[in-house]
Each structure stands twice: as structure tokens, then as C-alpha cells.
Amino acid sequence: MIPEPTPLPAQSRDSTRSVHAGETKVKPYGSLTTPIVQTSTYAFEDTAAVIAHMQRKKADLPPLRGEYGRYDNPTQATVERKLAALDGGDSALLFASGMAAATTVLLALLSPGDNIVVTDDLYRLTREFCLVFLGRFGIVTTLIKSGDYAALEAAIQPRTRLIFSEAPSNPYLRVMDIPRMAEVAHRHGVLLFMDSTFASPINLKPLALGADLVIHSATKYLGGHNDLLAGVIVGPKETMLTLRTARNILGGVADPHNAYLLLRGLKTLAIRIQKQNENGLRVAQFLESQPKVRQVYYPGLPSHPDHEIARRLMTGFGGVVTFEIDGDLERTGRFVDALRLPYIGPSLGGVESIVEQPALMSHFTKDKAEREAIGIKDELVRLALGIEDAEDLIADLEQALAKI
């Protein structure tokens, strides 16, 4: 029997929800933490229990117990309830990765002949899946420039089923006007699907702003410790039932150990984001004052093209700062190598700061002309700030700039 979570007061805020939402006050064996239920299958007491379970399943009612590990797991279910509470959705579904979550949604909701509209700064592998893989199934992808709302309206066709965008985006941290997009989408009977990985539910709640579905790579801020892979979709009950069936078939489920790590990471989500917001703004302001930095991209700065939208929609501007060194590929590499605190690597959202030069990492396989055509300059740096002290991060940046 899966116990019902202990209800929280309706006015509970994000940090309280991060700690308590989705969990039962009384747990097995008197444990304070939700345990890892490590099983691939579940045993029934008798035939009557089998019939009762299958009747609920046939009626599309929430299960009261487990059946098979690909369908249900109590550790996973607790995480899903917590994430639904944080994002303000009816329910959530946990996946093995953010890409597993995104591809499941697209395969479940689109059919041959359908059209999907995506912004050009959507995560590159999601964009590739739309353009290449979905194209094999006769699904047409229309790319539009981020922030071009006239192009968004013009791109919608009779067979358009989904608009897929990101806020903030990678790497330039564009913040789409979600209410405006939702108005366009819903006027045409189209679903709005938002990737809010860079914001987390603490900084941005797309569902409350009109989006129909929200996705997070839980690998990033939600997990928060660079030690797990997971993805999550949050949305309305009816759509989530469709997606649950698709996940059960496609099999991109999270395992109980990763679900437990994510549950543990979520407990500190609100306080981690608060620190990373603070670090992001202070580092962005510092970098903007440096003569060896050509340009800084951070939605908390008035110089960012979407600053006013970010101020209106977001409660914090995040821990990622993207900037250009005044120089070339080699000079920028010397700056990255001179940094002492950040690790050089991909990803973001953990307690440790991570830095990357996109031209040499995420976009290395493309030649310079291809990179520049999609806005990836040789001198571009993406700095994903952790929870170190801002003074130490700024001092490290200062000494690295001095060496170039």
C-alpha cells in the first residue's frame, strides 16, 4: 500500500515544500528519511489483491501499491509528488534523464504530419532530436528566433501541435515572455512546453504563467550535487496519464537510488538557489566592469535584452553567467585555465562552480563558421556558479583576468 502524503498548509512556501511536500510524516520502520525501495517487482498477498489492483489500473485510478518497477516505485513516487508541488502541477513524472523526459513527451504527443515550433536556442540535443529524429517519422520542425513573437505567430500551421521553448536559455540566458507565448499557443489550440532547467521551480513557475507542460533536467539544480542523472515533466492530470503510459512503454524510468539522491538534493533546493542567485548577480556585475570582458549575458543586468521580462516573471536570475573575453580562442582558453575554483566541464546547477568554453566543448565538432552562425563565438565562456562565497569567486576571476 502506497501511503498518502501528509498534507501541507496551502500557504506553504518553496523551502517548506522542498523539505516536506510529497512525503509522509510516518515512514516505514520509523525512518526520518524516505527509504530506497530496491525492487524490480512486487508480490501480491492473494488473487483478490491482484484483481483489486488491476481494476484500479483499468479505471485509470492512481495505484495503491506497486506492480512492476518500470511502472511504480515508492521512492520515485515521493519525488514526483514533491516536484509537482514545487512546480504547481497536478502531477509529475520522473525519468532517467532530461533527454528521456523530452523525447518521451514528443513521441507521445506528436504524430506523422504534425508540426512542432521550437525556438532556435533550445538545448542543442533536443533541437537535434526535433530536426533529425522526428523528421524520420514525418513530423516537421519549424525553428524560430528566440524573442521573435511575430515569427512565433506566423509559424503556427493547421497541424501545429506543440511550441517548445526554454527560459532562461543556454548559453545566452534569453527569457521568453511565457504569458505572451501561452496566449498565442492557446488561441490556436496548441500546447506550450517549456524547459525551465536553468531557472528551477524556485526562480520561475511556467505553469502558473500559462505553460501547459514544464520539463527540468533534474541532473542540474534539482539534484544540485553533480552526482545523478534524471529528468522530470510536470503538468495537468490528463496529459500526464498519457505520458505515464508512454514512459511505461519506452522505459526511460529513474532507478530508486537516483530517485533517493534527487529527493535528498531537493531538500536544500531553495537555499541553494538563493545562494546561486546571489553569486550570479554579483559575479555578473563584477565582470561587466572589467575591461578584458567584452560583454556579459545575465538576465539580472539591465544590459540583457530580456531584463524587463525576467524582472516581471522571475523571482531570481540564476547562477549561470555567460560572457565574452576580449580576445580570441587561445586567449580565452588561457583565462579558463587560470581559474582556480571552477572545474572545467559541462553541466551546471551543482554546489561546485563549473566553467566551459562552448567552442571547445559542446560545439567542438562544428567548424568556426558553423559555430558563429549559431552564435557560439570562440571567446564565449559559460560560468555555472556553485555555492562558494561570492568574494572568493570574484577574487579568482580577477586573478585569472590579470594573467591574460
- Count the neighbouring beta carbons within 10 Å of the beta carbon of residue 142: 17
Residues annotated catalytic, as ranges: 70, 123, 195, 220
Question: What are the phi and psi torsion angles at 4 (to 5°)?
Answer: -75, 140
What is the distance between the alpha carbons of residues 62 and 390, in angstroms, rounded to a whole number? 46
* The residue type at 366: K
d(CA 307, CA 302) in angstroms, rounded, equals: 6
**β-strand partners of 165:** 194
Judged by DSSP in three states, 398 sits in helix
Q: What angle do CA 358, 363, 368 make, to 5 degrees?
A: 95
Radius of gyration, alpha carbons of the chain: 22
- Stated length of the chain: 404
Query: Please, what is the angle between helix 269-288 and helix 390-402, to 10°?
Result: 30
Q: Which residue is it, cell 555555472?
A: 384
**What cell numbers appear for 11 in the block?**
500557504
What are the b/e assignments for 280-290, b being 16+ CB within 10 Å? bbbbbebbbee
Kindly state the helix (H) or strand (E) to which residue 248 belongs, with its residue range. helix 237-250
**332 Cβ partners below 8 Å, 6+ apart?**
325, 357, 378, 379, 380, 381
* Distance set, CA 104 to CA 7, 237, 250 (Å): 30, 16, 7
